Homo-oligomer: A and B are copies of this chain.
Amino acid sequence: MRPASVTTRDQAAALDAADPLAPLRDLFELPPGVIYLDGNSLGALPRATAARVREVVEQEWGQGLIRSWNSVGWMTLASRIGDKIARLVGAAPGELVVTDSTSVNVFKVLSAALTMARVAAGPGADRRVIVSERSNFPTDLYIAESLARERGFELRLLDAPDLASALDARTAVLMLTHVNYRNGVMHDMAALSRAAHDAGALVIWDLAHSAGAVPVDLHRDGADFAVGCGYKYLNGGPGAPAFVWVHPKHVGRFQQPLSGWIGHAAPFEFTPGYRPAAGISRYLCGTPAVISMAALECGVDTLLAAQQHGGMAALRAKSLALSHLFAARVEALCPALTLASPRDDAGRGSQVCFSHATHAYAIMQALIARGVIGDFRAGDPAHPPDAADILRFGFTPLYLRFVDAWDAAGHVHQVLAAEEWRRPEFNRRHAVT
């Protein structure tokens, strides 16, 4: 039975019964009556996290107090969790650390890349353009805008199809988010990295919607720098610390400007001059956020638990299967919705999006009221490719079942068929959408 040709709930249940990844759902605490299709925004709570956070708060902090920096290894959390995430994104141990937010890490790697690009180009060279995608997640663009102004670079924003041909001898850095937060479009990391390198530019990949969602191989696919998010597919909790990776051939060559004491070669010597640590540790900055990092480690462990069942490749296959089932069913039942994410698997991350001509927001509110939690992203009237309002549905194979995808599609159908979205309470906008 191929997921896209499932026509009964029993067939979906049969897929679950045959799914070797199905037991992983038990690693999570999920609220009863909820089908959670928003792991692309905030991952669900792993069952292990509550106890681990309690241990950190009540024992390590409460009883151990300052002694825990030594006795339970708080200072090594950044690299210990980093090494685990490295396994999910094709990086080697010692190359990746957990620290700060994605936005702050974008600042670090883009700063370093611009310095590298300028030094490599030499004085008088005209390599001063940062290329990115207009529909990149805004925080990446905001940070790039700020650095471009400060350093005398130009930020050039293009639509996805125009990126490769825009790379030329003026391009310093290509900076992209691998999977688009809005419509789920996934770039070809290898091809675009190669195109950037062929133009003599460096490439930065933001893995916010990739790490833990799709197989990523930073080394194989030619990345120079990468950052990513801890609270989406890594299930690290709201506002979890982010991560940063720099190719080992670059990492020792330049320092990044957020030269805080934890990135110093010997922080506890308390010497007045900055001496960057040898490897990726120079991308650390302030004191590690211990409680948040402990929660993140539990989240990352839920992904590593899939290693014995085929790891990221198996998770990706199941995510695609869930997506196929859902998308096929919605398309069959709901002619008012238009698929807004790519049909081609290779060009899509782990989410399926639909647009609705007029009432996407209220439709999502009605779905949430039914316990089907996805989210809404407003269209951008100033940018025709993104003009439509969108319903986003994330398919996280760790905790979703085929019957969930089946049932979710049924709820979408019912909301539309009964015009539930007309109710006034579904048409009041929240501050955070």
A contacts, CB < 8 Å to B:
29, 31, 34, 36, 38, 41-42, 44-45, 49-50, 53-54, 56-58, 60-63, 65-70, 74-75, 100-104, 107, 134-139, 141-143, 145-147, 150, 157, 182, 231, 237-242, 255, 257-262, 264, 267-274, 285-293, 295, 368, 373, 375, 377-378, 380, 382-383, 430-433
**Bound Cα distance from A22 to B237, whole angstroms:** 37
Extra pairs beyond A54-B54, A138-B267, A239-B290 (14, CB < 8 Å): A45-B58, A45-B61, A50-B54, A50-B57, A57-B237, A101-B260, A103-B261, A104-B104, A138-B261, A146-B259, A146-B274, A238-B288, A238-B291, A270-B377
CB-based contact B242/A286 at 8 Å: yes
CB-based contact A157/B373 at 8 Å: no
Q: Which residues of B contact A58 (CB under 8 A)?
A: 29, 45, 50
CB-based contact A31/B63 at 8 Å: yes
CB-based contact A57/B53 at 8 Å: yes
With known contacts A286-B101, A286-B103, A373-B65, A295–B258 Cβ distance under 8 A: no
| Shortest Cβ-Cβ A-B pairs, 5 listed | A101-B286, A103-B260, A139-B261, A238-B290, A45-B62
Write the nearest CB–CB distance from A425 to chain B, whole angstroms.
13
Chain copies in the assembled complex? 2
A-B contacts, 27 listed (Cβ < 8 Å): A34-B65, A42-B69, A44-B65, A45-B62, A49-B57, A57-B237, A74-B238, A75-B432, A100-B100, A100-B101, A101-B285, A101-B286, A101-B287, A103-B260, A137-B270, A138-B271, A141-B273, A142-B261, A146-B258, A157-B272, A239-B287, A239-B293, A240-B289, A268-B431, A270-B378, A270-B380, A291-B295
